[in-house]
Amino acid sequence: MRYLFLITVLLNSILAFAQSSSKTRIFHDSIGFAKHAWQMDSIMSRIDASDKVPVNSTYKAVINPHDDYAYAGGLYAKTLQGIKANTIILVGVAHRARNYQLQDKLVFGDYDYWEAPYGKLKISQIRDELLQKMNAKNFVVHDSMMQLEHSLEAIVPFLQKMNPNVEIIPILVPYMKFEDMQNYSDELAETLSEIMKEKNLQYGKDLAIVISNDAIHYGSEDWGGSDLAPFGTDSIGNEKAHQKDEKIIAETLKGKLTAEKIEKFKHYTVQPDNYKEYQWTWCGRYSVPFGLLFANKLNKILNGEKLQGELIGYRSSLKNQHLKVEDLGMGTTAPSKPTHWVAYVGMAYQ
């Protein structure tokens, strides 16, 4: 028994050393999101019970918000209820891509772990297998961009709360032409499908995709000097903005996924003569079309059919009740008022 004890101690020491010498992405936004386990526990307890009803379905992919928990926490919980897999590919926004002149390539990180409320979250070894097999011209490994970006760390605490064993593969999508999205999603889907077949992994059950996005960013104030309110900011103008969002969702995200629908989403959100500029201010103007192309192609390869999209919910910081977070040492990173608000959509794909 003593030998067994010594072996156990030795293995634990080796594991501790490996983790201490590994690269860990540290938490970036401790205001809008929960950094500590007790904060996350409190957030979940405050979310309305209707947003925490267990889902029997198993989602293969979702579109999920990444704004402050005070504004969108309930929709996080509701959307992610159907994510049952242990390995999650996170497809995120690269908000600060301009800082590093990143464009036209997928962005990966080189971290071994991510700091998260319930302990370090492991990066799946599948990431390294993907990078070994993919064309190096189509991606860049950029830890500084991955560290600075908040759109995926927002989702991680909910995934970890719902499944302590979850592992992630973070990918950021910076400025990108639609034809590059098509080519890169082809390669990623084909490469991943080969790995999944080798490991006998099922789409949805063992591996799923979570696409990060916030819908319309609207208003005439506090947008860095920009006026993002083409319909005005009175009750009529704000309602028109909500209605346009719902039109985009109905026409491009719901129902059977097709390349034509996904390209139509691109036309709604990106300027036709400059793919780096907004047409309609969804920050997921690259993450959503790339993520959906990738998720849909993966399903066609593995299961011979297109994904079906279902609306989980559409909300906004202007319309919906907010969670109380100030007593948790948290807050909001932007105002919510008629002249400055953000909308959110939760979509599930099976």
Say if 18 falls within a structural domain. Answer: no
Q: What is the pLDDT of residues 313-347, one digit of tens each?
A: 999 999 999 999 999 999 999 999 999 999 999 99
Query: Stretch 14-43: mean pLDDT, rounded?
Result: 82
Residue 170 forms part of a structural domain: yes
| pLDDT band (50, 70, 90) for residue 17 | very low
**pLDDT exceeds 60 at position 157:** yes
In a domain, 11, yes or no: no
Mean pLDDT of the chain: 94
Q: How far apart are the C-alpha atoms of 314 and 246, rounded to whole Å? A: 8
CB 291 within 8 A of CB 209: yes
Considering the entire predicted model, what is its pTM? 0.93
H or E stretch covering 64: strand 61-64
Q: Compute the distance between CA of residue 42 and CA of residue 341 in angstroms, rounded to an integer.
A: 25
23: number of Cβ within 10 Å: 11
pLDDT score of 350:
98
| Sequence-distant (≥ 6) Cβ neighbours of residue 203 within 8 angstroms | 60, 196, 298, 299, 302, 303
The string of pLDDT tens digits covering residues 63-73 is 999 999 999 99
Return the DSSP state at 120.
Answer: P
pLDDT of residue 324: 97
- pLDDT tens-digit map of 80-122: 999 999 999 999 999 999 999 999 999 999 999 999 999 999 9
**What local confidence, expressed as pLDDT, does residue 262 receive?**
98
Q: Are 298 and 193 in contact (CB under 8 A)?
A: yes
Q: Sorting pLDDT into bands at 50, 70 and 90, what band is 22?
A: confident
Tens of pLDDT along 175-207?
Answer: 999 999 999 999 999 999 999 999 999 999 999
**Residues in a beta bridge with 340:** 219, 337
Q: Is residue 107 part of a domain?
A: yes
In a domain, 313, yes or no: yes
Give the range of the structural domain holding residue 114, as residue numbers without chain letter: 28-349
Whether residue 5 lies inside any domain: the answer is no
Q: Would you tell me how many other CB atoms lie within 10 Å of the CB of residue 224?
A: 5
Q: Does the structure show a pLDDT above 60 at 14?
A: no
> For residue 6, is it within any domain?
no
CB–CB of 193/204 below 8 Å?
no
Q: CATH number for the domain including 212? A: 3.40.830.10
Closest by CA position to 157, among listed 76, 235, 91: 76
CA distance 133 to 137: 12
CA distance linking residue 262 with residue 279, whole number of Å = 15
pLDDT reported for residue 271: 96
CA atoms within 13 A on the CB side of 118: 15
Q: Are 213 and 342 in contact (CB under 8 A)?
A: no
> Taking residues 281-297, what's their average pLDDT?
98
User: Which of 4-22 are b and which e, b meaning 16 or more Cβ less than 10 Å from the residue's Cβ?
Assistant: eeeeeeeeeeeeeeeeeee
Average pLDDT rounded to a whole number, residues 222-242? 97
Distance separating alpha carbons of residues 132 and 191, to the nearest angstrom: 10
Torsion of CA 26, 31, 32, 33, to 10 degrees: 40
Q: Would residue 242 count as lying in a domain?
A: yes
Report the 10 Å Cβ neighbour count for 274.
10
Domains held by the chain: number: 1
Q: Which pLDDT score is estimated for 32?
A: 96
Q: What is the pLDDT of residue 10?
A: 43
* Amino acid 21: pLDDT: 54
Using the predicted structure, report yes or no on whether residue 174 has a pLDDT greater than 70. Answer: yes
Query: Could you give the maximum distance between any two Cα atoms of the chain, in Å?
Result: 75
Give pLDDT, residue 254: 98
